[in-house]
């Protein structure tokens, strides 16, 4: 395909992305330097770096940042380990059973995130199965506290996102070099050794990619936390996205909210840039 | 991997998998039970598993007054379902063009959506449902049209430009939604597009583009180049060749990508919440049901959650293979 034709074909899509994604980002940077509320939405007032100074010295911002990091640290390793184990196990069962099990496992990931959270939360509310079991085991009722809500958020994110690494690792397992495994079996390598020395090295690029995607997805998680905390400030379970949402929609300081958005974008670049470089190398074939 | 032989290990593997599957679906199971209870039953100290189910929550959710012509509603639903199945069977047998089939399905759905409120008093929830359908269909149609043309071009062009576009798209995809929602909010208010279907559809199309072109380019890369070479020998220009020769052989990929595009639009909460006031979709409506502490909301929320999930369950039953392909699309070769 010629270059000119390529650009003609991809023009509508590129136009949509530039107009609807690049332009708003630039506009967000502009708004972040202004004082904007609902009153002066069409005539922003330039204030320079004042919004940045305010946000960066707001203890709530740093608490949200900490919770964002906590979410990543407690969920991503579990996603990956659980996903890998389940994929290995799924690889062992017969085709008919596998389809059914996979459908059931996929459900949390495919359902509307808000709905999944509502359902998960209901288990722990008064009259739910989990709150009943909790009462039986600890002989005190389950209460939503700042601590327990944070734990629930993490549990929910594990329930919700694990299907994704399961499916990807399972697909990766189907591309294993069979002859290596056979050679290893002949040499008397145990199953654990096979996994350690053949399967994991083979899946390493995939593992790295999934890890980066999961970190970025957990970082920008929003729906789940909103429903789990019901936006109750008492729980102090805001991550950066929730903080951003509150500044914009509840406090209605649009300038400051855009500042927060710009800061969160800068934050994600730490993972995004290595990820994009990795992808670029994969695509261009430079090892 | 070589299969495990030891019977004990085998049993262990099955046990773990079954337990994990049950753990995955328990919230759904419980939501279904809660949605069929009265408020008093739902709050019982010991969770109730056996009770006389009531459809009250669903009628409260969907209707303002209990419809007298329940039968008519039943007939419409059954009729739609039967037509769908017939359509699918006919299309399998006589190789009806896929685009015609999809058009047929959209027409039937639209007819049902218009007919139902004429016959009974639908509650607010029905409007949210209709909004969800409008936005989802709009997003899928626009996004797939421009995305598949671009994906094809990316798959066929070997220069550096296509790689740059793919990488940039990936970057967009990873950015937090909030970074787009806020500037759009200001822009929407300034241009008067705020609170219209258009702004939501346009923004979601843009948000879906990165994913769409990645998946479509991966699928088109698997389609043999000889196809369009033959077409160009027959004297077809590139674009007609794409429409008449490439598209028909790319249907599995289009279906996979379309499904995900659909799910992304159906799932969206934040952008709809920020950019609209009267065009709320199901996810936004459900947050409203669960936001308050009123006891009656628990069973209602369960009914709303189950109602929203039914289409998803149907998709998973019929299209599981396409979903799996979509999830791994591009990231795993083989």
Torsion over CA: A187, A193, A196, A202 (sign): positive
Query: Which residues 233-252 of chain A have a CB within 8 Å of chain B?
Result: 240-241, 244-245, 248-249
Residue-level pLDDT at B138: 93
- pLDDT of B334 above 60: no
The per-residue pLDDT for range B251-280, each reduced to its tens digit, is 888 888 998 899 999 999 999 999 998 889
Nearest-neighbour CA in chain B from A194: distance (Å): 9
Instruction: Return the bridge partners of A45, or none.
Output: A35
Q: What topology does CATH give the domain B126-328? A: MetI-like fold (1.10.3720)
Give the largest CA-CA distance in chain B: 75
Q: Which of B1, B194, B294 to mutate against chain A (most A CBs within 10 Å)?
A: B1
**What is the distance between the alpha carbons of residues A275 and A213, in angstroms, rounded to a whole number?**
8
Domain ranges for chain A: 46-284
Helix (H, G, I), strand (E, B) or coil at B154: helix
From A167's Cα to the closest Cα of chain B, the distance in A is 7
Q: Give the residue carrying structure tokens 């070479």.
A: B229
A222: confidence class by pLDDT, cuts 50, 70, 90: very high
**d(C-alpha B89, C-alpha B81), whole Å:** 12
More confident residue, B184 or B101: B184
Q: What is the mean pLDDT of residues B86-93?
A: 74
Total beta-carbon pairs less than 8 A apart between chain A and chain B:
324
Q: What is the pLDDT of residue B200?
A: 93
| pLDDT range class, residue B291, cuts 50, 70, 90 | low
Which region among A147-156, A162-171, B205-214, B228-237 has the lowest average model confidence (pLDDT)?
B228-237
Could you tell me the fold of the domain covering A46-284?
Answer: MetI-like fold (1.10.3720)
CB A91 within 8 A of CB B12: no
Name every chain A residue with its beta carbon within 8 A of the beta carbon of B167. 276, 279-280, 283
What's the rounded mean pLDDT across residues A76-96?
Answer: 93
Interior angle at CA B191, CA B189 and CA B192, nearest 5 = 65
């Amino acid at each position: 395909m010629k270059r000119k034709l390529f650009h003609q074909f991809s023009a509508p899509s590129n136009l949509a992305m530039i107009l609807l994604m690049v332009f708003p980002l630039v506009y967000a940077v502009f708004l972040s330097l202004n004082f904007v509320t609902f009153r002066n939405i069409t005539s922003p007032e330039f204030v320079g770096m004042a919004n940045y100074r305010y946000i960066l010295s707001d203890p709530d911002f740093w608490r949200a940042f900490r919770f964002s990091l906590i979410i990543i640290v407690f969920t991503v390793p579990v996603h990956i380990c659980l996903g890998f184990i389940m994929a290995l196990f799924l690889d062992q069962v017969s085709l008919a059973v596998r389809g059914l099990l996979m459908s059931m496992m996929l459900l949390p990931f495919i359902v509307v995130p808000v709905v999944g959270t509502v359902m998960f939360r209901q288990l722990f509310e008064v009259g739910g199965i989990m709150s009943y079991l909790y009462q039986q085991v600890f002989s005190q009722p389950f209460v939503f506290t700042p601590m327990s809500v944070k734990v629930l958020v993490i549990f929910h994110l594990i329930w919700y996102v694990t299907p994704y690494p399961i499916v990807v690792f399972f697909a990766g397992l189907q591309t294993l070099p069979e002859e290596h495994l056979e050679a290893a079996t002949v040499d008397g390598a145990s199953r654990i050794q096979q996994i350690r020395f053949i399967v994991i090295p083979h899946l390493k690029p995939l593992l790295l990619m999934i890890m980066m995607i999961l970190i970025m997805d957990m970082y920008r998680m929003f729906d789940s936390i909103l429903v789990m905390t019901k936006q109750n400030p008492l729980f102090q379970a805001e991550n950066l996205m929730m903080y951003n949402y509150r500044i914009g929609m509840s406090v209605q300081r649009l300038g400051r909210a855009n500042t927060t958005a710009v800061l969160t974008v800068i934050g994600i670049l730490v993972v995004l840039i290595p990820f994009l470089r990795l992808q670029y190398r994969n695509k261009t074939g430079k090892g | 991997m070589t299969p495990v032989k030891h019977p004990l290990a085998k049993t262990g593997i099955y046990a773990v998998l079954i337990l994990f599957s049950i753990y995955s679906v328990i919230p759904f199971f419980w939501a279904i039970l809660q949605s069929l209870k009265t408020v008093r039953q739902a709050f019982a100290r010991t969770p109730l598993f056996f009770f006389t189910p009531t459809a009250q929550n669903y009628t409260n959710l969907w209707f303002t007054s209990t419809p007298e012509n329940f039968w008519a509603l039943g007939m419409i639903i059954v009729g739609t379902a039967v037509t769908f199945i017939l359509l699918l069977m006919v299309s399998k047998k006589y190789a009806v063009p896929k685009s015609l089939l999809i058009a047929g399905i959209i027409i039937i759905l639209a007819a049902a959506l218009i007919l139902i409120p004429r016959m009974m008093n639908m509650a607010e929830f029905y409007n949210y449902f209709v909004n969800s359908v409008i936005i989802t269909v709009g997003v899928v149609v626009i996004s797939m049209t421009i995305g598949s043309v671009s994906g094809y071009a990316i798959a066929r062009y070997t220069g550096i430009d296509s790689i740059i576009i793919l990488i940039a798209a990936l970057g967009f995809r990873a950015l937090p939604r909030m970074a787009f929602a806020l500037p759009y909010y200001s822009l929407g208010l300034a241009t008067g597009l705020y609170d219209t279907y258009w702004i939501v559809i346009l923004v979601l199309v843009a948000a879906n583009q990165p994913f769409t072109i990645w998946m479509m380019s991966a699928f088109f890369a698997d389609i043999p180049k000889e196809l369009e070479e033959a077409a160009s020998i027959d004297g077809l220009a590139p674009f007609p060749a794409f429409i008449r020769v490439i598209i028909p052989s790319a249907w599995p990929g289009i279906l996979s990508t379309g499904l995900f595009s659909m799910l992304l639009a159906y799932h969206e909460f934040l952008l709809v919440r920020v950019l609209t006031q009267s065009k709320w979709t199901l996810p936004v409506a459900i947050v409203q049901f669960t936001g308050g502490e009123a006891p009656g909301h628990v069973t209602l929320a369960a009914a709303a959650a189950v109602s929203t999930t039914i289409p998803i369950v149907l998709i998973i039953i019929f299209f599981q293979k396409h979903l799996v392909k979509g999830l791994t699309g591009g990231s795993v070769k083989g």
